[in-house]
Chain A
Amino acid sequence: MSKLPIPTYRITPWLFLTPLFIMIALAWIGPLFLTVYLGFTDLQLKNFIAFIKDFFTPQVHFTLDNFRRIFLAQDPYIPEVARITMIYVGSVLAINAFFALVLSIAIAYFVKSELISMSLRVSWLLPRITPGIVYALMWNWFVSRDGMFNLLLRLAGIPESWLPSNWLLDKPYSQLLMIIVNGYIGASFGMIVYTAAIKSIPPDLINAALVDGASEFQVARRIIIPLLKWPIMFVTAWQTLSLMASYDVILMVWGAAQGASPSEVLGITKVAGVTVWSLYAYTQAFSQYQYGYAAAISLVLVAIGLGLIVFYFKVFGFRRLMEPSRVEV
């Protein structure tokens, strides 16, 4: 029965956490600092080898040019990218947060049969759980000339003349397709959060409203939606961050259509008008080999993201951000 100099209960947590810290340092913190550094350099293909040998080689210069190119629009494509990104984030967000709300009320409240409700939910989840590349493959078939999309649209009564010759490349259509393709994946996020929240509303509350004379629509409008205030804000907040950073589905659908290697991606997405901000950063690095510039472009996203998350912590508080599906009665 001796007293240890440092009690073990002080050390043990750190032993459990060390591997986590190592991985975070390796995959997040290190790259983050490196990106900040890169953003202020003119690193590109021609001085890349020297840089790899020595991170402080004189061949790589400190410069603010990257940010000048972005903010003073010296890169003529930047305003276009910004516009596409805003349309993309705004539209998909609307699907994720608001369409998903109607969807969840329909599935979780209007449909009373648990079996039907369950199968609809699983169907809506399919786009999310299908591996991205298979999802891209299916869309490539679906919108192709001999595919089903045009056929279904014609069946729905859309006149032939409204349809594009190529969904992937004809401009407003390709951008619409970008929103649809991502919307299907995003809708299920909101759906799951909202459904959990709807299910956590005490049934007595809904029954009381029904007894008081409310119709089911009124229950949805006066009881369910007001109670879902926090989940709606959470989905909006969280998905804004996710959408700003996401480009992988676009890359897979449009890149696979041409079998484009990383160096060829930019050309295609430019034609299709689907170059969102993070995809532009990616292509600047891996299609144009402008590593410094690409880092600077992505740093803009980091700044916005950090600003937003600080804002969220303030508005929501930590607790609420963690328990999005909790309903506050």
Chain B
Amino acid sequence: MSRLSREELARRKMHARIRTIIKYVIVIVVAVIPLIPVWVMFLWLLAQSFSAKVTFGVIPQVFTLENWKFLWAPFKMGLKEYPNIWPITMNTLFLALGVAALEVLISSMAGYALSRMNFPGRIGLMQFIIALHAFPSVILLIALFIILNKMGLYGKGYMTLLGIIIIKAGLEIPMASWIIKGFFDAIPWDLEWAALVDGCTRWRVWRSVILPLVLPGIGAISIFAFLSGWAEFLLVYTYVVGEEYYTLPVLIYYLIGELKFVNWGMLAAVGLFFTIPTLIFFSTTQKLLLRIYVGGVKR
């Protein structure tokens, strides 16, 4: 092996250093600078909601809870006056819990069958589930509007919300089944065979052996379903008539139009209030949710 001269060695070290610098310049330009708006927006949400005045958008000046008055005091949206935000929060909760319950129950059954059972058309069904991605949700929105009308569920308050729960769950169940199938796939067949040999029926295997093992996955799916019901905007916006049946996203939507420039503080506070469950769940079950957000979200 040829020895490197001292100058050559220094030159190479220099090159290596330049390459390292270029590397980090790329990282900063590509991955960090574009994040500034995102960070600024979240900082604003925090700062603005707790202060009477902010400078440069993100520096809080005077601490106040004035912006959070909607938690206990009446507020107005358009001509409608709400006693406080809790009735609307309850509507949202009703929707989110309904969606989560329905979705988890049905997709954990279907996911098990898809993962563990042999039946004619199994591959076809899986392909079909993936192919559903090709149908834009807008076509369903128009037709479902007609169907809700036909069933007399349009503009019927809580009945409409119930209809929305079924629709929302129905739209998400195929993908959720697919994801849960993935969780079932990860459980070794040996365990299932052992349970069969030990004397279980298929139902019993599912209930006593498999389900407890996929519980973390099921938990993540329920959180995901809950959050997606919690954040659902379009269906409620399009189908619900009557301000007392709105959910938080629709309430916020109309509040933005009304209060921007006038009361950013309250908007930020409502927004933060609404985002809290999402942030809590995401920070606790980040890894599993990540998997689902990629597989499950329609975009």
Contacts and interface: CB of A to CB of B under 8 A. Distances in A.
B267 interface: yes
Interface string A111-155: 100000000101111111111111011111110111111011000
Closest 7 CB pairs of A and B: A259-B257, A27-B170, A245-B136, A31-B143, A305-B134, A131-B231, A16-B113
B110 A9 contact: no
Contacts of A59: none
A131 B109 CA distance: 28
A272 interface: no
B138 A281 contact: yes
B38 A127 contact: yes
A313 interface: yes
A189 B294 contact: yes
Interface of A: 8-10, 12-14, 16-17, 19-20, 23-24, 26-28, 30-32, 34-35, 38, 48, 51-52, 55, 99, 102-103, 106-107, 110-111, 120, 122-134, 136-142, 144-149, 151-152, 184-186, 189, 192-193, 215-217, 238-239, 241-248, 251-252, 255-260, 262, 278-279, 281-282, 285-286, 291, 294-295, 298-299, 301-302, 305-306, 308-309, 313, 318, 321-322
Contacts of B267: 137, 141
B166 A26 contact: yes
Contacts, number: 310
A189 B169 CA distance: 23
Interface in B262-284: 264, 267-268, 271, 274-275, 278, 282
Contacts of A31: 139-140, 142-144, 147
Contacts of A318: 123, 126-127, 130
Interface of A is mostly: helix
B139 A52 contact: no
Contact-residue size bin, chain B (C-beta under 8 Å from the other chain): 35 or more
Interface of B: 19, 22-24, 26-27, 30-32, 34-42, 44-45, 48, 56-58, 105-107, 109-110, 112-114, 117-119, 123, 125-127, 130-147, 149-150, 166-167, 169-171, 173-174, 177, 201-203, 227, 230-231, 233-234, 237-238, 248-250, 252-258, 260-261, 264, 267-268, 271, 274-275, 278, 282, 286, 289-290, 293-294, 297-299
Contacts of A137: 252, 256, 267-268, 271
Most buried by A among B45, B169, B171, B253: B253
A110 B173 CA distance: 38
26 contacts: A13-B118, A19-B110, A23-B166, A24-B132, A27-B140, A28-B140, A28-B174, A110-B23, A122-B286, A124-B38, A125-B290, A136-B256, A141-B264, A145-B261, A217-B23, A238-B133, A259-B253, A259-B258, A278-B138, A282-B141, A282-B142, A302-B135, A305-B136, A309-B130, A318-B127, A321-B130
A286 B294 CA distance: 30
B136 to A, nearest CB: 3
A23 B169 contact: yes
Nearest to A145: B261
B41 A32 contact: no
Contacts of A321: 130
Contacts of B255: 259
B139 A20 contact: no
Contact of A8 (B44, B135, B171, B202): B202
B297 to A, nearest CB: 7
Given A103-B30, A216-B19, A245-B298, A147 B57 contact: yes
